Amino acid sequence: MEIKTMRFGVLTEKGHAEVRERPLPEMGPDEVLVKQEACNICTTDYQQWLGQREGRGYPMASGHESAGTVVAVGEKVLDLKPGDRVALAYVTCGICDSCKRGRGCTNNEIGPKKISPDGYRGMFAYADYAVRPARALIKMNPSLSPSEAAFMEPLAAVVKGLDKLRVKPLETVVVVGAGTMGLLNAQAARAMGCRVIVSELMEHKLQVAREMGFEVMDGSACDPVQEIMRLTDGKGADAAILAVAATKVNQQALDLVKHVDGRILFFGAAYPTPAIDIDSNVIHYRRLELIGTFGADLTDFCTAADMLNQGVVQVAPLIEKNKYSLDHIQEAFAEAATPGKFRVSVLL
């Protein structure tokens, strides 16, 4: 059966997502037709739905945490075949200086910043079918559910951050925040041989962290700094990963890490923007490292795929039980935007 159209979810304004239909783009020789099976709602997506990221523009055919099955391949595609389960990495141009150096693409005519000829922004990840460049797709273990395989993108962002943080086996790492990204960071750091302590305020998230086997710290029932000092014999953590963004968390992190050569990774973002107040002499004399991270490179996607495919990182506990069809994408965004939720998956 020839597939001529695609149905897709689109944000049209603050608080409103709907389903539309458009002609399916023609598949080129280096491209792949994918039957997309699941797309998980990322924080970026539901923040725009909430009106916190209006600068991204409308109409936004958003989404980027997606997985599906190959339907057909172009004549120059050699590494994929119909029936392969794949997940979506970033769409890159492959020719800009940044791509050539193995870094993130800076070409605004490619990927999520591109505006389609019919006026849509985004990557059309909440769609039943899509045509993708073969270089943007990575094979996934078919034993993973589509919703699990779709975690490749957020896990790739975690891999990028841990690479910048330079974690080493036997180091103590404090992960602040036991949401989806916090527990992905915690699992990946543990897989790299670190001792991981997870700090969280919400009891149900603390319980999930416990069930994953982590040392946990209830930040509402203790002084986090004092507790970390107790757990590390007064030394402090080698590194802290801030998977939530808040002014209070930013300030506490300065005291969670060891006095000299401590490292802090600012993984999360928030709106309005949190602040941090620190004397530059403190950074100087303590040799503190304040590290930012965002996105991922292709090598990070490959590592993330390996972690999922080999079962090193388990993501099933991070998927909400309620799953939504494409026709109910508005309800899906409403649940995803509810505080305390893990990933909400839209089945396509």
pLDDT score recorded for residue 111: 63
- Evaluate whether 262 touches 241 at the Cβ level (below 8 Å): no
pLDDT at 146: 98
Residue 19 and residue 324 in contact, taking contact as beta carbons nearer than 8 Å: no
* pLDDT for 112: 63
Query: In a 3-state reduction of DSSP, which class is residue 333?
Result: helix
- The two beta strands, 31-40 and 129-133, are antiparallel
CA-to-CA distance for 13 and 24, rounded, in angstroms?
24
- Measure the CA–CA gap between 265 and 165, rounded to whole angstroms: 7
Q: Are strands 16-23 and 5-13 parallel, antiparallel or unpaired?
A: antiparallel
CA dihedral 176, 298, 43, 249 (to 10 degrees): 20
Radius of gyration of the chain from Cα atoms?
Answer: 21
Q: Which domains are assigned to the chain? A: 5-151+315-347 (3.90.180.10), 156-292 (3.40.50.720)
**Comparing C-alpha atoms, which of 4, 7, 3 is closest to residue 326?**
7
The tally of CA atoms less than 13 A away on the side-chain side of residue 122 is: 25
Tokens of 202: 């919400």
Tokens representing residue 44 in the block: 């970026």
Whole-angstrom distance, CA of residue 181 vs CA of residue 154: 7
Contact 250, 281 (CB under 8 A): no
| Cβ-contact 143, 137 below 8 angstroms | no
- Average pLDDT per run of 10 along the chain, which is 348 residues long? 93 97 97 98 95 91 97 97 97 85 75 83 96 96 98 98 97 98 98 97 96 96 96 98 95 97 95 92 98 94 97 97 97 96 97
Q: For the packed helices 180-191 and 203-211, what is the interaxial angle rounded to 10 degrees?
A: 20
Global pTM reads 0.95
The CB density around residue 30, as the number of other CB atoms within 10 Å, is: 14
CA nearest neighbour of 63 among 111, 29, 104: 111
Helix (H) or strand (E) holding 197: strand 195-200
Task: Give, in order, the Cα–Cα distances in Å from 60 to each of 27, 47, 116, 122, 263.
Answer: 22, 13, 11, 6, 36
Q: 66 has which bridge partners?
A: 39
Q: Which residues pair with 321 in a beta bridge?
A: none
Q: What are phi and psi for residue 125, nearest 5 degrees?
A: -80, -25
pLDDT at 143: 97
Residue 67: φ, ψ to 5°: -150, 155
Rounded Cα–Cα distance for residues 124 and 66 (Å): 10
Handedness of CA 293, 297, 299, 302 (dihedral sign): positive
What sign for the dihedral angle of Cα 169, 170, 176, 182?
positive
